Copies of this chain bind each other. A is one copy, B any other.
Amino acid sequence: MAHRVHNFGAGPAALPLPALARAREELLDWGGTGMSVLEHSHRGDAYEAMHHDTLLRLRRLAGLPDTHEILLLQGGASMQFATVPMNLLRPGEAADYVVHGAWGDKALAEAKLVGDARLAGKHPTCAATVRDEDLALTPGAAYVHYTTNETIHGAQYHQVPDAKGAPLVADMSSDIFSRPFDHARHALTYAGAQKNLGPSGLVVVFVDKGLLARARTDIPQILRYQTHAKSASLYNTIPTFAVYLLREVCVWLEERGGVAAMGAENDRKQRALYAALDEHPGAYELPVERDARSWMNVVFRLRGDGAEARFLAEAARRELVGLRGHRSVGGVRASIYNAVSEASVARLCELVRDFARG
Protein backbone atom coordinates (compact mmCIF):
# COMPACT_ATOMS: atom_id res chain seq x y z
CA MET A 1 0.00 0.00 0.00
CA ALA A 2 1.44 3.35 -1.03
CA HIS A 3 1.84 6.09 1.57
CA ARG A 4 -0.89 8.69 0.97
CA VAL A 5 -1.47 12.03 2.67
CA HIS A 6 -4.68 14.10 2.90
CA ASN A 7 -4.44 16.49 -0.04
CA PHE A 8 -6.41 19.76 0.23
CA GLY A 9 -4.55 21.45 -2.64
CA ALA A 10 -6.45 23.78 -4.96
CA GLY A 11 -5.30 22.26 -8.23
CA PRO A 12 -3.83 20.19 -9.69
CA ALA A 13 -5.60 18.43 -6.86
CA ALA A 14 -6.34 15.07 -5.31
CA LEU A 15 -7.47 12.38 -7.74
CA PRO A 16 -9.67 9.41 -6.86
CA LEU A 17 -7.37 6.63 -5.68
CA PRO A 18 -9.17 3.95 -7.77
CA ALA A 19 -8.49 6.01 -10.93
CA LEU A 20 -4.81 6.35 -10.09
CA ALA A 21 -4.52 2.69 -9.08
CA ARG A 22 -6.06 1.58 -12.37
CA ALA A 23 -3.69 3.85 -14.31
CA ARG A 24 -0.77 2.42 -12.41
CA GLU A 25 -1.87 -1.16 -12.98
CA GLU A 26 -2.02 -0.83 -16.75
CA LEU A 27 0.61 1.85 -17.35
CA LEU A 28 2.94 -0.46 -19.29
CA ASP A 29 0.29 -2.58 -21.02
CA TRP A 30 -3.12 -1.05 -21.64
CA GLY A 31 -5.92 -3.55 -22.15
CA GLY A 32 -3.53 -6.26 -23.33
CA THR A 33 -2.28 -4.16 -26.27
CA GLY A 34 1.34 -4.45 -25.15
CA MET A 35 1.66 -0.67 -25.05
CA SER A 36 0.97 2.06 -22.55
CA VAL A 37 -2.11 4.17 -23.24
CA LEU A 38 0.51 6.94 -23.52
CA GLU A 39 1.99 5.16 -26.54
CA HIS A 40 -1.24 4.66 -28.47
CA SER A 41 -2.07 6.71 -31.54
CA HIS A 42 -5.00 9.06 -31.10
CA ARG A 43 -6.12 7.73 -34.51
CA GLY A 44 -6.11 4.09 -33.40
CA ASP A 45 -9.21 2.00 -32.62
CA ALA A 46 -8.30 1.46 -28.96
CA TYR A 47 -7.85 5.14 -28.22
CA GLU A 48 -10.86 6.21 -30.25
CA ALA A 49 -13.19 3.79 -28.46
CA MET A 50 -11.97 5.11 -25.11
CA HIS A 51 -12.29 8.71 -26.31
CA HIS A 52 -15.90 8.32 -27.42
CA ASP A 53 -16.77 6.45 -24.25
CA THR A 54 -15.38 9.41 -22.28
CA LEU A 55 -17.62 11.80 -24.23
CA LEU A 56 -20.63 9.59 -23.51
CA ARG A 57 -19.88 9.41 -19.81
CA LEU A 58 -19.40 13.18 -19.62
CA ARG A 59 -22.76 13.69 -21.31
CA ARG A 60 -24.47 11.26 -18.95
CA LEU A 61 -22.89 12.74 -15.83
CA ALA A 62 -23.72 16.31 -16.91
CA GLY A 63 -27.24 15.37 -17.97
CA LEU A 64 -26.34 17.21 -21.14
CA PRO A 65 -29.04 17.12 -23.83
CA ASP A 66 -28.36 16.72 -27.53
CA THR A 67 -28.68 20.48 -27.95
CA HIS A 68 -25.11 20.79 -26.69
CA GLU A 69 -21.75 19.62 -28.03
CA ILE A 70 -18.83 18.47 -25.87
CA LEU A 71 -15.30 19.64 -26.68
CA LEU A 72 -12.06 18.43 -25.10
CA LEU A 73 -9.42 21.09 -25.58
CA GLN A 74 -5.95 22.12 -24.49
CA GLY A 75 -4.69 25.26 -22.77
CA GLY A 76 -6.80 25.19 -19.64
CA ALA A 77 -9.44 27.68 -18.59
CA SER A 78 -6.94 30.48 -19.26
CA MET A 79 -7.05 29.63 -22.96
CA GLN A 80 -10.85 29.75 -22.81
CA PHE A 81 -10.59 33.29 -21.42
CA ALA A 82 -9.29 34.15 -24.92
CA THR A 83 -11.15 31.69 -27.13
CA VAL A 84 -14.62 32.37 -25.70
CA PRO A 85 -14.57 35.99 -26.96
CA MET A 86 -12.57 35.07 -30.09
CA ASN A 87 -15.34 32.66 -31.06
CA LEU A 88 -18.42 34.39 -29.69
CA LEU A 89 -17.80 38.14 -29.71
CA ARG A 90 -18.05 40.07 -32.98
CA PRO A 91 -17.04 43.63 -33.84
CA GLY A 92 -20.00 45.85 -32.94
CA GLU A 93 -21.14 43.49 -30.20
CA ALA A 94 -20.46 43.65 -26.47
CA ALA A 95 -20.05 40.89 -23.90
CA ASP A 96 -20.83 41.29 -20.21
CA TYR A 97 -18.60 39.97 -17.45
CA VAL A 98 -19.73 39.48 -13.87
CA VAL A 99 -16.75 39.36 -11.51
CA HIS A 100 -16.44 38.24 -7.92
CA GLY A 101 -12.85 37.07 -7.78
CA ALA A 102 -9.45 36.74 -9.42
CA TRP A 103 -10.52 34.33 -12.14
CA GLY A 104 -13.42 36.45 -13.32
CA ASP A 105 -11.03 39.41 -13.38
CA LYS A 106 -8.59 37.47 -15.55
CA ALA A 107 -11.33 36.33 -17.90
CA LEU A 108 -12.47 39.92 -18.36
CA ALA A 109 -8.95 41.29 -18.85
CA GLU A 110 -8.27 38.73 -21.57
CA ALA A 111 -11.63 39.34 -23.28
CA LYS A 112 -10.91 43.08 -23.39
CA LEU A 113 -7.89 42.30 -25.56
CA VAL A 114 -10.21 40.55 -28.01
CA GLY A 115 -13.27 42.82 -28.20
CA ASP A 116 -15.77 44.98 -26.39
CA ALA A 117 -15.93 43.16 -23.08
CA ARG A 118 -17.59 45.06 -20.25
CA LEU A 119 -17.72 44.75 -16.51
CA ALA A 120 -21.42 44.24 -15.77
CA GLY A 121 -21.04 43.88 -12.03
CA LYS A 122 -18.32 43.25 -9.49
CA HIS A 123 -18.35 42.39 -5.83
CA PRO A 124 -16.15 45.02 -4.14
CA THR A 125 -14.40 42.59 -1.78
CA CYS A 126 -15.09 39.25 -3.48
CA ALA A 127 -16.68 38.11 -0.22
CA ALA A 128 -19.83 37.10 -2.09
CA THR A 129 -21.21 36.70 -5.58
CA VAL A 130 -22.85 39.61 -7.39
CA ARG A 131 -26.60 39.92 -6.79
CA ASP A 132 -28.86 40.02 -9.84
CA GLU A 133 -30.17 43.44 -8.81
CA ASP A 134 -26.61 44.81 -8.90
CA LEU A 135 -26.01 43.76 -12.52
CA ALA A 136 -25.77 46.42 -15.23
CA LEU A 137 -26.29 44.26 -18.29
CA THR A 138 -25.83 45.45 -21.87
CA PRO A 139 -29.02 44.95 -23.87
CA GLY A 140 -28.32 42.51 -26.69
CA ALA A 141 -24.99 41.37 -25.23
CA ALA A 142 -23.32 38.53 -27.14
CA TYR A 143 -23.12 36.68 -23.85
CA VAL A 144 -22.87 37.11 -20.09
CA HIS A 145 -19.83 35.48 -18.46
CA TYR A 146 -19.52 34.54 -14.80
CA THR A 147 -17.42 32.26 -12.63
CA THR A 148 -19.51 29.72 -10.74
CA ASN A 149 -16.92 29.29 -7.98
CA GLU A 150 -13.97 31.55 -7.23
CA THR A 151 -11.19 29.18 -6.21
CA ILE A 152 -8.99 31.81 -4.59
CA HIS A 153 -11.58 33.92 -2.77
CA GLY A 154 -13.91 31.04 -1.89
CA ALA A 155 -17.28 32.48 -2.92
CA GLN A 156 -19.63 30.38 -5.03
CA TYR A 157 -22.87 30.94 -6.89
CA HIS A 158 -25.61 28.78 -5.41
CA GLN A 159 -28.10 29.87 -8.07
CA VAL A 160 -27.71 30.74 -11.73
CA PRO A 161 -27.57 34.53 -12.25
CA ASP A 162 -30.35 36.12 -14.28
CA ALA A 163 -28.83 37.21 -17.60
CA LYS A 164 -32.14 38.61 -18.87
CA GLY A 165 -32.17 36.22 -21.78
CA ALA A 166 -28.58 36.72 -22.96
CA PRO A 167 -26.54 33.56 -23.58
CA LEU A 168 -24.87 32.51 -20.32
CA VAL A 169 -21.23 31.47 -20.25
CA ALA A 170 -19.79 29.97 -17.07
CA ASP A 171 -16.28 29.12 -15.97
CA MET A 172 -16.87 26.03 -13.82
CA SER A 173 -13.26 24.97 -13.38
CA SER A 174 -13.49 24.44 -9.66
CA ASP A 175 -17.00 23.11 -9.18
CA ILE A 176 -18.00 21.15 -12.26
CA PHE A 177 -19.62 17.83 -11.36
CA SER A 178 -19.57 18.73 -7.66
CA ARG A 179 -23.41 18.74 -7.58
CA PRO A 180 -26.28 18.85 -10.10
CA PHE A 181 -26.08 21.86 -12.42
CA ASP A 182 -28.21 23.01 -15.33
CA HIS A 183 -25.64 22.98 -18.12
CA ALA A 184 -28.41 23.06 -20.73
CA ARG A 185 -29.54 26.47 -19.47
CA HIS A 186 -26.07 27.78 -20.33
CA ALA A 187 -24.86 28.57 -23.82
CA LEU A 188 -21.39 27.47 -22.82
CA THR A 189 -19.76 26.05 -19.72
CA TYR A 190 -16.08 25.22 -19.44
CA ALA A 191 -13.80 23.72 -16.84
CA GLY A 192 -10.09 23.04 -16.58
CA ALA A 193 -9.84 19.38 -15.63
CA GLN A 194 -7.31 19.66 -12.83
CA LYS A 195 -9.68 20.15 -9.92
CA ASN A 196 -12.75 17.93 -10.21
CA LEU A 197 -12.16 16.04 -13.47
CA GLY A 198 -8.63 14.74 -13.77
CA PRO A 199 -5.11 15.95 -14.53
CA SER A 200 -4.03 19.35 -15.84
CA GLY A 201 -3.66 19.94 -19.57
CA LEU A 202 -7.27 19.41 -20.56
CA VAL A 203 -10.33 21.64 -20.55
CA VAL A 204 -13.89 20.40 -21.03
CA VAL A 205 -16.37 22.64 -22.88
CA PHE A 206 -20.13 22.13 -23.19
CA VAL A 207 -21.50 24.41 -25.90
CA ASP A 208 -24.93 24.98 -27.38
CA LYS A 209 -25.00 23.78 -30.99
CA GLY A 210 -26.89 26.84 -32.20
CA LEU A 211 -24.27 29.14 -30.72
CA LEU A 212 -21.56 26.90 -32.13
CA ALA A 213 -23.04 27.15 -35.63
CA ARG A 214 -22.87 30.96 -35.42
CA ALA A 215 -19.34 31.05 -33.94
CA ARG A 216 -16.72 33.07 -35.74
CA THR A 217 -14.74 31.42 -38.51
CA ASP A 218 -12.40 34.32 -39.23
CA ILE A 219 -9.89 33.22 -36.59
CA PRO A 220 -7.12 30.60 -36.87
CA GLN A 221 -8.42 27.10 -37.50
CA ILE A 222 -7.01 25.66 -34.26
CA LEU A 223 -8.77 28.31 -32.14
CA ARG A 224 -12.23 27.77 -33.64
CA TYR A 225 -14.74 25.78 -31.62
CA GLN A 226 -16.20 24.54 -34.91
CA THR A 227 -12.92 22.89 -35.87
CA HIS A 228 -12.93 20.74 -32.77
CA ALA A 229 -16.67 20.08 -32.85
CA LYS A 230 -16.47 18.76 -36.42
CA SER A 231 -13.76 16.29 -35.49
CA ALA A 232 -15.07 15.14 -32.10
CA SER A 233 -12.05 16.91 -30.55
CA LEU A 234 -9.62 14.87 -32.64
CA TYR A 235 -8.56 17.64 -35.04
CA ASN A 236 -5.01 17.39 -33.79
CA THR A 237 -3.20 15.21 -31.28
CA ILE A 238 -5.13 15.34 -28.04
CA PRO A 239 -3.54 14.82 -24.58
CA THR A 240 -4.47 11.15 -24.67
CA PHE A 241 -3.42 10.29 -21.12
CA ALA A 242 -5.41 13.19 -19.68
CA VAL A 243 -8.51 11.92 -21.49
CA TYR A 244 -7.81 8.41 -20.23
CA LEU A 245 -7.64 9.66 -16.64
CA LEU A 246 -10.72 11.84 -17.14
CA ARG A 247 -12.56 8.70 -18.19
CA GLU A 248 -11.37 6.86 -15.09
CA VAL A 249 -12.65 9.74 -12.97
CA CYS A 250 -16.01 9.54 -14.78
CA VAL A 251 -16.19 5.79 -14.13
CA TRP A 252 -15.49 6.44 -10.44
CA LEU A 253 -18.15 9.17 -10.32
CA GLU A 254 -20.75 6.94 -11.95
CA GLU A 255 -19.95 4.08 -9.60
CA ARG A 256 -20.57 6.43 -6.67
CA GLY A 257 -23.99 7.38 -8.02
CA GLY A 258 -23.13 10.27 -10.30
CA VAL A 259 -23.31 13.99 -9.72
CA ALA A 260 -26.41 13.87 -7.46
CA ALA A 261 -24.76 11.48 -5.01
CA MET A 262 -21.54 13.49 -5.22
CA GLY A 263 -23.54 16.62 -4.41
CA ALA A 264 -24.99 15.01 -1.29
CA GLU A 265 -21.52 13.98 -0.16
CA ASN A 266 -20.03 17.40 -0.91
CA ASP A 267 -22.86 19.02 1.04
CA ARG A 268 -22.02 16.86 4.06
CA LYS A 269 -18.34 17.75 3.70
CA GLN A 270 -18.85 21.50 3.52
CA ARG A 271 -21.41 21.51 6.35
CA ALA A 272 -19.01 19.60 8.58
CA LEU A 273 -16.05 21.85 7.88
CA TYR A 274 -17.87 25.19 8.14
CA ALA A 275 -19.58 23.97 11.33
CA ALA A 276 -16.21 23.21 12.94
CA LEU A 277 -14.90 26.64 11.94
CA ASP A 278 -18.06 28.44 13.08
CA GLU A 279 -17.80 26.81 16.50
CA HIS A 280 -14.66 28.82 17.21
CA PRO A 281 -15.18 32.42 16.10
CA GLY A 282 -12.41 33.45 18.48
CA ALA A 283 -9.91 31.39 16.52
CA TYR A 284 -11.13 31.53 12.93
CA GLU A 285 -12.32 34.34 10.72
CA LEU A 286 -14.34 33.46 7.62
CA PRO A 287 -14.19 36.29 5.07
CA VAL A 288 -16.90 34.95 2.76
CA GLU A 289 -20.56 35.82 3.38
CA ARG A 290 -22.52 32.87 4.67
CA ASP A 291 -24.86 32.44 1.68
CA ALA A 292 -21.97 32.52 -0.79
CA ARG A 293 -19.66 30.12 0.98
CA SER A 294 -17.98 27.79 -1.46
CA TRP A 295 -18.57 24.07 -1.15
CA MET A 296 -15.24 23.46 -2.84
CA ASN A 297 -12.76 26.00 -1.46
CA VAL A 298 -13.18 26.76 2.21
CA VAL A 299 -11.23 29.95 2.94
CA PHE A 300 -10.43 31.15 6.45
CA ARG A 301 -7.91 33.11 8.49
CA LEU A 302 -6.56 32.49 11.95
CA ARG A 303 -6.75 35.20 14.55
CA GLY A 304 -3.60 36.01 16.49
CA ASP A 305 0.05 36.50 15.66
CA GLY A 306 1.72 33.45 14.19
CA ALA A 307 -1.40 31.32 14.55
CA GLU A 308 -1.59 30.60 10.81
CA ALA A 309 1.96 29.28 10.67
CA ARG A 310 1.35 27.12 13.76
CA PHE A 311 -1.90 25.81 12.27
CA LEU A 312 -0.20 24.88 9.02
CA ALA A 313 2.68 23.22 10.86
CA GLU A 314 0.29 21.13 12.93
CA ALA A 315 -1.62 20.26 9.76
CA ALA A 316 1.59 19.07 8.13
CA ARG A 317 2.39 16.98 11.21
CA ARG A 318 -0.98 15.27 10.74
CA GLU A 319 -0.30 14.85 7.01
CA LEU A 320 -2.98 17.34 5.98
CA VAL A 321 -1.32 19.20 3.09
CA GLY A 322 -2.04 21.86 0.46
CA LEU A 323 -3.79 24.15 2.97
CA ARG A 324 -1.88 27.38 2.45
CA GLY A 325 -4.10 30.11 0.94
CA HIS A 326 -3.32 31.50 -2.50
CA ARG A 327 -0.23 33.75 -2.47
CA SER A 328 -2.42 36.73 -3.51
CA VAL A 329 -4.73 36.56 -0.47
CA GLY A 330 -2.87 34.54 2.18
CA GLY A 331 -4.74 32.73 4.95
CA VAL A 332 -5.80 29.11 4.81
CA ARG A 333 -7.75 27.40 2.06
CA ALA A 334 -9.08 23.86 2.20
CA SER A 335 -10.06 22.62 -1.23
CA ILE A 336 -12.48 19.76 -0.76
CA TYR A 337 -13.12 18.65 -4.31
CA ASN A 338 -14.89 15.42 -5.23
CA ALA A 339 -11.80 13.28 -4.71
CA VAL A 340 -11.21 14.57 -1.17
CA SER A 341 -12.96 12.00 1.00
CA GLU A 342 -15.29 12.59 3.93
CA ALA A 343 -12.63 10.86 6.04
CA SER A 344 -10.05 13.47 5.02
CA VAL A 345 -12.49 16.27 5.82
CA ALA A 346 -13.19 14.65 9.20
CA ARG A 347 -9.44 14.74 9.94
CA LEU A 348 -9.37 18.41 9.04
CA CYS A 349 -12.39 19.13 11.27
CA GLU A 350 -10.54 17.41 14.09
CA LEU A 351 -7.54 19.66 13.56
CA VAL A 352 -9.77 22.76 13.40
CA ARG A 353 -11.30 21.88 16.77
CA ASP A 354 -8.10 20.69 18.45
CA PHE A 355 -6.19 23.77 17.37
CA ALA A 356 -8.87 26.19 18.60
CA ARG A 357 -8.93 24.49 21.98
CA GLY A 358 -5.18 25.02 22.16
Interface of A toward B, CB cutoff 8 Å? 2-5, 7, 9-15, 17, 20-21, 23-24, 27-29, 32-36, 38-44, 74-79, 81-82, 86, 109-110, 113-114, 192, 194, 199-202, 218-223, 235-242, 245, 319, 321-322, 327
Q: Could you tell me if B201 and A236 are in contact, using CB atoms closer than 8 angstroms?
A: no
Ranked 10 nearest A-B pairs via Cβ: A201-B239, A5-B34, A2-B28, A82-B220, A78-B236, A24-B27, A2-B29, A74-B74, A201-B201, A200-B237
Q: Could you tell me if B9 and A39 are in contact, using CB atoms closer than 8 angstroms?
A: yes
Contact of A109 among B29, B221, B241, B245 (CB under 8 A): B221
Q: Could you tell me if B41 and A11 are in contact, using CB atoms closer than 8 angstroms?
A: yes
CA distance A109 to B220 in the complex (A): 9
Contact of A240 among B10, B35, B199, B219 (CB under 8 A): B199
Chain B residues near A42 (CB, 8 Å)?
12, 200
Instruction: List 26 A–B pairs whose Cβ atoms lie within 8 Å, in order of A's numbering.
Output: A2-B29, A3-B34, A4-B28, A12-B40, A12-B237, A14-B39, A20-B28, A23-B27, A41-B322, A42-B200, A43-B327, A44-B322, A74-B74, A74-B75, A75-B75, A75-B222, A76-B236, A76-B237, A78-B236, A79-B236, A82-B220, A194-B237, A199-B241, A200-B237, A200-B240, A241-B242
User: Do A9 and B41 contact each other (CB < 8 Å), given the known contacts A113-B220, A220-B114?
Assistant: yes
- Residue in chain B with minimal CB distance to A218: B113
Chain B residues near A222 (CB, 8 Å)?
75, 78-79, 81-82, 110
Copy number in the complex reads: 2
CA distance A11 to B41 in the complex (A): 6
- Residue in chain B with minimal CB distance to A37: B12
**How far in angstroms is the closest Cβ of chain B from A4?**
5
Q: Could you tell me if A29 and B12 are in contact, using CB atoms closer than 8 angstroms?
A: no
Q: Could you tell me if A41 and B28 are in contact, using CB atoms closer than 8 angstroms?
A: no
Contact of A110 among B23, B32, B202, B221 (CB under 8 A): B221
Q: Could you tell me if B27 and A3 are in contact, using CB atoms closer than 8 angstroms?
A: no
Chain B residues near A11 (CB, 8 Å)?
41, 237
Chain B residues near A237 (CB, 8 Å)?
11-12, 76, 78, 192, 194, 200
